[in-house]
Structure 1
Amino acid sequence: MKKPTLPIHHGFITSVATFVFVLFSSHLWALEITGTVGLEKRHFNDQESFLNQDDGGLSLKFQAEIRHKWDDNQKVITFVPFYRKDQTDDDRTHGDIRQLDFIAVDDNWEYQLGIGRVFWGVAESSHLVDIINQTDAVENIDGEDKLGQPMVRASYLYGDGAVSLYVLPYFRERTFASAEGRLRPQLPVNTDDAQYESSKEKNHIDYALRLQHTIDEIDIGLSYFDGTSREPDLIPNLINHTLTPYYPQITQLGLDLQFTGEEWLWKLEAINREFKHDRFHAEVAGFEYTIPRFMESYMDLGLLLEYHHDSRGEVAAARLQNDLFLGSRMVFNDLGDTECLLGVYLDQDNNTKSYNIQFSRRFHDVFKLHVEAQLFEDVDKTDPLYDLRNDSYISVEMEYFF
C-alpha cells in the first residue's frame, strides 16, 4: 500500500509556493502563526476481525496555520500544513497540505487560487452536498476530515448571498487504512492500483457552481458538480485479494436548506447524482431544538433528530440509506467551553446500531481534551458496517495550542 504523504501535483505546489514566498518576503511583519500539537491514544475494545490487526496505539498530530493579510485585509494568504505519525498503521502516518491559497477581494468579487478547503451542508449526521474536498478517511470514519483541494474560485458577492464558480484542476484520491489497520473492509484497499473512468485520471478538470442566498430566517444553497466522484467504488481483485478503488465520472445537483428560529433549526440536504449508466437521489432531513438554561442550569441542551434516505435502498454501499439519527448536544457555557454530543444511528431495515460520543474541554487556554467513542452493536451481515462490527473504539487526545 502506498503511503499518502503529501499526494499533490508537485508542479502545482511549486507554482503556488513560489508565489507565496514572494509575497511573504515583502510583508513579513504581518505574519500570523498559530497551530496545534496533539497526542492521541486509540483503543479498540474487541478482538480484531482480520489477521495482524492491532488493538490501537499512540499517534502524534501536528497542524499549523500561517496567515498573512494586507491591503486592509482585502488580500490574504493562508498556509495550513498537516502531519500525523501513527504508531501502528503505516497508512495513517501521512501528511497533507490542508490549505495553501491566496484570496483577494475586489468590490463585489472574491478570488481564490491554490489549495483550499470548502464546506457545504447543514445536517449534523452526514453532509450529502459536500463534494469539493476529498475525505481523509484514515483520520476518522465520520467524514469530517478533508484533504486539501487544488482550485481556482471566483465568487460574486451581493447583499443576501453569493454565486461561486470552482475550477478543480487536480484530483485527490481517498485515503484508506492499511491491511494492519483497523476500521477497514474485509479485503484491504490497494490504493496503488486506483482506476478511473476518465482517461485523464487525476488530471481531469472538475467544475462546480454554487448559489448561496438568505431570505429572512432561511438559508438556501444550490450546487452543481461535474467531474470525478469523491466516493470510489471498491472492486474485488481476486488475484491479489484486495479491493481496487474505481473513480467514475458524475454530475450532481445539490440542495441544502436551513430555517433558524429562536429554539429551532430545521435542516434539509438533498442530492441527485448521475453516472454514465445510472442515477440515484438521497436526502437527509431533521431538526435541532435547543433548551436554554436546561433545568435552571447554565447548560444549553440541544435535541437532534435526522432521517436519511437513499433511493438505491439496501444495495447501496452508503452507510446511511434508511436510517434514523437521534442525538443530544450539551453546551455547558463554562470557562472551559465544555461540550458533549451523544448520538445513535438506527438502521430501519435491520437491528444495526452505531453510537457516537464526543466530549471536549479546554484547560488553561492552551490545552484541549477530546474524547470520542464509536460503538457498533447488532450489526447485520447485509449492512455496510459489517466489516467494522469488532472495531468499536475509544479515542483520547490532548491538544496543545500555540
Structure 2
Amino acid sequence: MEVTGSAGLEQRYFLQDALYDGQERGQLSMFVAPELYTEFNEGYDSLLFKGYARIDQRDSERSHVDIRELLWLHVGDDWELRTGISKVFWGQTESLHLVDVINQTDAVEAVDLEDKLGQPMVNLSLIRDWGTTSFFVLPYFRERTFAGMDGRLRPALTVDTDNPLYESSDEEKHVDWAVRWQHTLGDWDVGLSYFDGTAREPELVLQDNDGQPVLRPYYGQMQQTGLDVLAVMGSWLLKFEGIHRNTRDGDYMAAVGGFEYTQVGVFDSVYDLGFLMEYQYDERDELAPVPSQNDLMVGTRIAFNDIDGTTVLIGYVQDLDHSDSYTGFVEASSRISDNVKWRLDAWLFSGDTATDPLYGIRRDDFVQLSLEYFF
C-alpha cells in the first residue's frame, strides 16, 4: 500500500475592515490531505482513499472533515467501473466551469469555487475508438458548504445549512444520473454531457427563524446539456464551454469561451509568457444570481521554467454592464524543497450596487500565504 498526501498551514489577511460584526482581518488555518492506494488482482483492481480535514482559527464552519475519494476501480479490456466516493471534473476554460456538475463545491475552501466535496457514485466508462462514453448514477446529494457568522467571504445573513429546502420529495436521497461522451478529433478535444438531478448551486431563500431573518439553501431539480471544447493549434489554445439548463423557473443558456496564447522563451529567455482572454455570458442577464452574466476575463500566465516549478497567474474579470463591478486575482507557487511548496493567492472584489453578487464581499479583499508539505 502506498501512503502519500500533503499537509499545510495557511494565513489569510484581509485588507479592509469587515462589513459584519465578529469578523477579523487575520484568519489562520491548517489542513491535512492523506492518500492511500493499493492494487490487487494483477493490477485490474485498485482501492483509493483521499481524505481531507481543516481546522480554522476564526470560522467554525470552515473547520470540517471530508472524504474526497473512497473508490474501488476495476479495469477491463475496453471498460472501467468505479464504485464509491469520487471526484470528476468536466470542463476546459480557465475562468468558469459551467459544465462541471457532478461534484458539489466546497465553498469554504477557496473563493474560486474549484475545491469539491466527494460524491457517492457508480461510474461505468466504455472506451471505444469513436470515443469514451461514461455513465454516472449518483445516489446521494451533498449540500454546499458556507462560511459561518465569524467567517468572511459570506452573505450578510446567516445561511441556515441545517435546514435546506429541496424541490424533490426525496431530498438528498434523490438519485441523479449523467452521461458524457468525450473524444479527441485531431487537434480538438470534444465533450458532450447530459445531467438530470439536483442542482449543485442553491438558491438562497429569505425566511424567518424565531424572529431572525436567515437564508435557507433551496436545491431545485434541473436538466443540463453541456458542450466543452479544447483546440490545440500550435501556441494557441481555444477553449469553450456552453450549457442549456432547464429548471422550474424556465430554461436558459450560458457560455464561456476564449483563448490562451503562450510565447515560449519570451525575449530569448527561459520564461514562457501566456496571454488569456475569455468572455462569460448568461442569457438571464442581470437576473442571474452569479456575477458571470456579461463579463470579460483577461490574464497572463508566467512559467519560470526553473527547477522549483515557479508559476504566476494574474487575472482580471470585468462586468461589461457595470464598470464598478470587477474581480482581480493573483495565484503564484513554487517549491522550496522536494517536499515543501509555497503558494500566494490574492483576491480583490468590487461591487457597489446591492443587486451585484459581489456586493456582500466588497470589503473582503485578501492575501493568503500557504506552506504545504508533501509526504
> TM-score range with shorter-chain normalisation?
over 0.9
Q: Give 1:274's aligned residue.
A: 246
Counterpart of 1:259, as a letter, is A
Written as runs of structure 1 = structure 2, the 5 A alignment for 1:194-213 is 194-213=164-183
What is the deviation of 1:378? 5.5
Match of 1:394 among 356, 363, 367: 367
Q: Give 1:230's aligned residue.
A: 200
Q: Give 2:236's aligned residue.
A: 264
Q: Give 2:283's aligned residue.
A: 311
Task: Verify the 8 A CA contact 2:351 2:357 in the aligned structure 1.
Answer: no
What is the deviation of 1:380? 3.6
Aligned equivalents of 2:130 and 2:308: distance in 1? 35
Aligned equivalents of 2:357 and 2:102: distance in 1? 24
* 1:14-40 alpha-carbon deviations (Å, 9 max, x no partner): xxxxxxxxxxxxxxxxx1111111000
Q: Does 1:289 align with 2:261?
A: yes
Aligned equivalents of 1:368 and 1:76: distance in 2? 29
Aligned equivalents of 2:350 and 2:165: distance in 1? 34
Aligned equivalents of 2:307 and 2:335: distance in 1? 8
What is the deviation of 1:362? 0.4
**SS at 2:66's partner residue?**
strand
Task: Verify the 8 A CA contact 1:232 1:246 in the aligned structure 2.
Answer: yes
Q: Give 2:67's aligned residue.
A: 97
Aligned equivalents of 1:56 and 1:363: distance in 2? 24
Aligned equivalents of 1:55 and 1:257: distance in 2? 41
**SS at 1:62's partner residue?**
strand
Q: Give 1:20's aligned residue.
A: none
What is the deviation of 1:69? 1.6
What is the deviation of 1:132? 0.1
Match of 1:361 among 315, 327, 334: 334
Instruction: Give the RMSD, CA atoms, in angstroms.
Output: 1.0
Q: Give 1:191's aligned residue.
A: 161
Q: Give 2:46's aligned residue.
A: 76
Structure 1 runs of 4+ aligned residues shifted over 2 Å read 70-74, 377-382
**SS at 2:212's partner residue?**
coil
Aligned equivalents of 1:329 and 1:69: distance in 2? 38
Q: Give 1:339's aligned residue.
A: 311
Q: Does 1:381 align with 2:354?
A: yes
Counterpart of 1:139, as a letter, is E
Aligned equivalents of 2:41 and 2:299: distance in 1? 45
Identify if the C-alpha distance between structure 1 residues 324 and 89 changes in structure 2 by more than 3 Å, giving closer, same or farther: same
Identify if the C-alpha distance between structure 1 residues 396 and 280 changes in structure 2 by more than 3 Å, giving closer, same or farther: same
Task: Verify the 8 A CA contact 1:353 1:379 in the aligned structure 2.
Answer: no
Which structure dedicates a bigger proportion of its chain to strand?
2
Task: Verify the 8 A CA contact 1:102 1:114 in the aligned structure 2.
Answer: yes
What is the deviation of 1:276? 2.4
Task: Verify the 8 A CA contact 1:359 1:371 in the aligned structure 2.
Answer: yes
Q: Does 1:254 align with 2:226?
A: yes
Task: Verify the 8 A CA contact 2:351 2:358 in the aligned structure 1.
Answer: no
Task: Verify the 8 A CA contact 1:350 1:380 in the aligned structure 2.
Answer: no
Q: Give 2:190's aligned residue.
A: 220
**SS at 2:252's partner residue?**
strand
Q: Does 1:38 align with 2:11?
A: no
What is the deviation of 1:379? 3.8
Gaps in structure 1 of 5+ consecutive residues: 1-30
Q: Does 1:152 align with 2:122?
A: yes
What is the deviation of 1:55? 1.2
Which structure dedicates a bigger proportion of its chain to helix?
1
Task: Verify the 8 A CA contact 2:351 2:359 in the aligned structure 1.
Answer: no
Counterpart of 1:217, as a letter, is D
Identify if the C-alpha distance between structure 1 residues 91 and 320 changes in structure 2 by more than 3 Å, giving closer, same or farther: same
Q: Give 1:63's aligned residue.
A: 33
- Range 54-63 or range 199-208, more displaced: 54-63
In the comparison of the two structures, how many residue pairs are matched?
372
What is the deviation of 1:76? 1.5
* 1:249-274 alpha-carbon deviations (Å, 9 max, x no partner): 10000000110111000011000110
* 1:125-166 alpha-carbon deviations (Å, 9 max, x no partner): 010000000000000121110000000011100135200100
Q: Does 1:114 align with 2:84?
A: yes
Task: Verify the 8 A CA contact 2:350 2:359 in the aligned structure 1.
Answer: no
What is the deviation of 1:240? 2.2
Q: Give 2:96's aligned residue.
A: 126
Q: Does 1:174 align with 2:144?
A: yes
What is the deviation of 1:350? 0.4
Counterpart of 1:306, as a letter, is E
* 1:341-393 alpha-carbon deviations (Å, 9 max, x no partner): 00000000102121010000001110000100001136443311000000000
Counterpart of 2:316, as a letter, is V
Identify if the C-alpha distance between structure 1 residues 208 and 378 changes in structure 2 by more than 3 Å, giving closer, same or farther: closer
Aligned equivalents of 1:72 and 1:259: distance in 2? 37
